[in-house]
């Protein structure tokens, strides 16, 4: 599976220009297609969901074009029902395309099939079909009742009257009816049965319909009346606001990571309900400011974000970001009235609970709520995203909690925000890493430890980890070529580094692992792919603020490819053998110069020639030959590179 590793970050600060709103983009495209006249759409979102809508409109006879290299589109409206009367449409997992198109096609008098990805076929649509049937639409289920895929047939449409629709499953059903019913030309009332969820999304629909010339009368959120004789007319040019749901990730980053982080493209006057996420942040202590087209957030002046208990029915998508923000609060948090999460791109309540537990939170999951108890310290985790873009983007915020995080299937963000991870990285300051690689006995360990002391950073001696694995394998009687057994041992090895001592459980092995037997053993086990894979995460977890100095053979190439500074430290084999000889003699251990020199040359050849992470200088590393240098001079050289 593809994944992306996000390094732990010290802070978040910067400015982000948001991509266009998915909800506004697909609504605007459909209204422009149904309208009379040509519409110029500016700042349309470039994403999978919008691509599915554009493909469908083209198949239905709508002419559209894109200005080369831009996000500006021209749509020639058809002035009513779609002209193409037979089509098969694949709409992926785009609910904002599937539901409204179903309603519009039901009133277009043709034969159509609509399908999507497997998850789309698990998302309910029965309430919309029942509502359309009340005016004579003929829609059949091609799979399970109440769910896509669908077959739409010409029906005997009975315009006017009252259509009743449930409002407590998805607001997209009401949006679909509102956008399609002007095609009948008759006054029609829609009555909502039960509580209407996600009201701000209906407000977006009504505002955009009015921009295209159809003003809907409403009685609260229970009754909506489409006037008789209504027709969509192009407004000429229309701009798509930045996506307020996407803004939530960056505003939360500012609140968690210090900030300020500013988002541009959406502001206090936005028609999107998710802009109220900023209000929620302010309620829990974040410092928030807003202008006409921007919002900015930073951490509380004092202390942590406050624990909360919130009804989040009005911002269901942005509420997911609050679930992650809860991990950084000063106590248990409760998110309520989020039942609509169950019928989104995945069952988001279940998915969120599962993944939050991976990072150390205690989670109570209910039918329409989550209760989250933040952990004392976050854990590194591999986050599954369930082909849900918002899961991927939310969990990127974990990197601001002192631990890295792996996001599986990161391309799912293409649904709404293809460049998300690059944009997120642009506002984050990762924990710096100084990677010092080089051959055995080159002095890199001594230099790295002194550099760490000078900078106040943590120190990682990766060579010791492999030596400990070799020692533990030999003590357990495991052959050094038994890859699977040694990899299993490496995962659970009780290794730690305390005050200059190397511990295996309670046993101080600082000296014994420096013996030749362990040195040779370490080189052998380090060449085993499964062992190296088992130790990658273990080594990356040493990366904590304020920084890390790591020495080894592949620190800059494999473990920390994004290291702030990379040094390849070396010396001639003769100089290295002499240094090793002196070290062993000073510790009272037996040593022979000829044997040491021979072993070093053999190890160099083995380390450089191994298939996995061979010892080599990366193109972005600085070469430091210490053959004629003192330790102090080498340390000063590295510190100069850091500065």
Distance CA 498, CA 492 (A): 18
Helix, strand, coil shares of the chain as percentages rounded to 5?
40, 25, 35
**Tally of CB atoms within 10 A around 239:** 15
List alpha helices for 47-149, DSSP H: 48-59, 95-106, 126-133
Q: Is 213 exposed, middle or buried (0-12, 13-18, 19+ CB in 10 A)?
A: middle
**Tally of CB atoms within 10 A around 437:** 29
For residue 569, the surrounding DSSP H or E stretch is strand 565-570
Distance CA 130, CA 252 (A): 40
**Tokens representing 276?**
């109220």
**Tally of CB atoms within 10 A around 620:** 11
Active site residue 317: yes
Distance CA 362, CA 377 (A): 12
- The residue written with tokens 């785009």 in the block is 94
Distance CA 417, CA 45 (A): 8
Taking the mean position of all CA atoms in its chain, how far away is CA 75? 32
Those residues with Cβ within 8 angstroms of residue 234's Cβ, 6 or more apart along the chain or in another chain: 32, 35, 36, 37, 38, 39, 77, 212
Contact between 232 and 306 (Cβ < 8 Å): no
**Tokens representing 107?**
């009133």
- The residue written with tokens 């939170």 in the block is 361
Round to the nearest angstrom and report the end-to-end CA distance of the chain: 38
Catalytic residue among 317, 551, 554, 599: 317
**Coil/strand/helix, residue 254:** helix
Kindly list the strands in the beta sheet with 38-42, ordered across the sheet, starting from the edge strand earlier in the chain. 63-66, 73-76, 38-42, 237-239
For residue 322, the surrounding DSSP H or E stretch is helix 316-325
Contact between 345 and 387 (Cβ < 8 Å): yes
Distance CA 447, CA 240 (A): 55
Provide φ and ψ at 107, rounded to 5°.
-105, 10
Q: How many helices (H) and strands (E) does the chain have?
A: 20, 32
The radius of gyration computed from the CA coordinates of the chain, to the nearest angstrom, equals 30
Distance CA 307, CA 290 (A): 23
DSSP annotation string for 299-353: --SSSPBPP-EEE-TT-HHHHHHHHHHGGGBSS-EEEES-GGGGGSSS-HHHHHH
DSSP E strand boundaries for 30-128: 38-42, 63-66, 73-76, 86-90, 111-115
For residue 317, the surrounding DSSP H or E stretch is helix 316-325
- Mind telling me the catalytic residues? 317
């Amino acid at each position: 599976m593809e994944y992306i590793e996000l390094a732990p970050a010290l802070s978040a600060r910067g400015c982000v220009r948001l991509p266009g709103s998915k909800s506004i983009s697909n609504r605007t495209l459909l209204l422009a297609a149904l309208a009379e006249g040509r519409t110029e759409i500016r700042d349309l979102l470039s994403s999978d969901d919008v691509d599915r809508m554009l493909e469908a409109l083209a198949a239905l006879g709508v002419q559209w074009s894109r200005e080369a290299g831009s996000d500006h589109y021209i749509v020639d409206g058809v002035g009513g029902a779609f002209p193409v009367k037979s089509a098969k449409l694949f709409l992926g997992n785009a609910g904002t395309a599937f539901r409204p198109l179903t309603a519009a096609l039901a009133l277009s008098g043709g034969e159509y099939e609509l399908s999507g990805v497997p998850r789309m076929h698990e998302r309910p649509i029965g309430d919309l079909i029942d509502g359309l049937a009340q005016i004579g639409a003929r829609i059949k289920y091609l799979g399970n009742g109440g769910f896509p895929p669908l077959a739409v047939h010409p029906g005997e449409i009975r315009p006017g009257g009252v259509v009743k629709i449930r409002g407590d499953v998805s607001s997209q059903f009401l949006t679909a009816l509102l956008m399609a019913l002007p095609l009948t030309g008759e006054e029609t009332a829609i009555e909502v049965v039960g509580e209407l969820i996600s009201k701000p999304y209906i407000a977006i629909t009504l505002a955009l319909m009015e921009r295209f010339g159809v003003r809907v009368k409403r009685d609260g959120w229970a009754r909506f009346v489409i006037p008789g004789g209504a027709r969509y007319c192009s407004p000429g040019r229309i701009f798509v606001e930045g996506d307020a749901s996407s803004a939530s990730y960056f505003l939360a980053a500012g609140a968690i990571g210090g900030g300020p982080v500013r988002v541009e493209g959406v502001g206090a006057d936005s028609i999107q309900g998710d802009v109220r996420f900023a209000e929620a942040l302010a309620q829990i202590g974040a410092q928030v400011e807003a202008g006409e087209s921007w919002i900015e957030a930073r951490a509380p002046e004092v202390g942590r974000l406050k624990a909360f208990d919130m009804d989040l029915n009005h911002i269901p998508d942005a509420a997911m970001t609050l679930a992650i923000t809860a991990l950084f609060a000063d106590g248990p948090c409760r998110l309520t009235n989020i039942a609509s999460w169950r019928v989104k791109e995945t069952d988001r309540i279940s998915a969120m609970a599962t993944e939050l537990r991976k990072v150390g939170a205690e989670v109570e999951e209910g039918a329409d709520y989550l209760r989250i108890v933040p952990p004392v310290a976050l854990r590194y985790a591999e986050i599954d995203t369930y082909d849900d873009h918002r899961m991927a983007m939310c969990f990127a915020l974990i990197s601001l909690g002192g631990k890295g995080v792996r996001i599986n299937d990161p391309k799912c963000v293409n649904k709404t925000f293809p460049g998300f991870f690059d944009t997120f990285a642009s506002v984050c300051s990762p924990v710096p890493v100084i990677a010092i690689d080089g051959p055995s006995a080159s002095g890199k360990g001594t230099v790295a430890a002194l550099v760490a002391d000078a900078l106040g950073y943590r120190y990682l001696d990766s060579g010791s980890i492999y030596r400990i694995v070799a020692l533990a394998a030999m003590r357990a009687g495991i052959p050094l070529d038994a890859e699977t057994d040694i990899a299993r041992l490496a995962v659970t090895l009780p290794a730690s580094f305390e005050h200059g001592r190397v511990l295996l459980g309670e046993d101080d092995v600082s000296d014994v692992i420096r013996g030749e037997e362990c040195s040779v053993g370490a080189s052998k086990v380090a060449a085993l792919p499964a062992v190296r894979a088992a130790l990658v995460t273990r080594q990356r977890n040493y990366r904590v603020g304020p920084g890390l100095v790591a020495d080894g053979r592949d620190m800059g190439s494999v473990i920390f490819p994004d290291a702030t500074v990379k040094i390849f430290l070396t010396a001639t084999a003769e100089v290295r053998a002499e240094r090793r000889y002196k070290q062993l003699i000073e510790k009272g251990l037996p040593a022979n110069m000829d044997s040491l020199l021979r072993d070093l040359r053999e190890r160099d050849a083995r380390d450089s020639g191994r298939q996995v992470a061979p010892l080599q200088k990366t193109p972005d590393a600085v070469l430091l030959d210490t053959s004629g240098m003192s330790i102090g001079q080498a340390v000063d050289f590295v510190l100069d590179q850091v500065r």
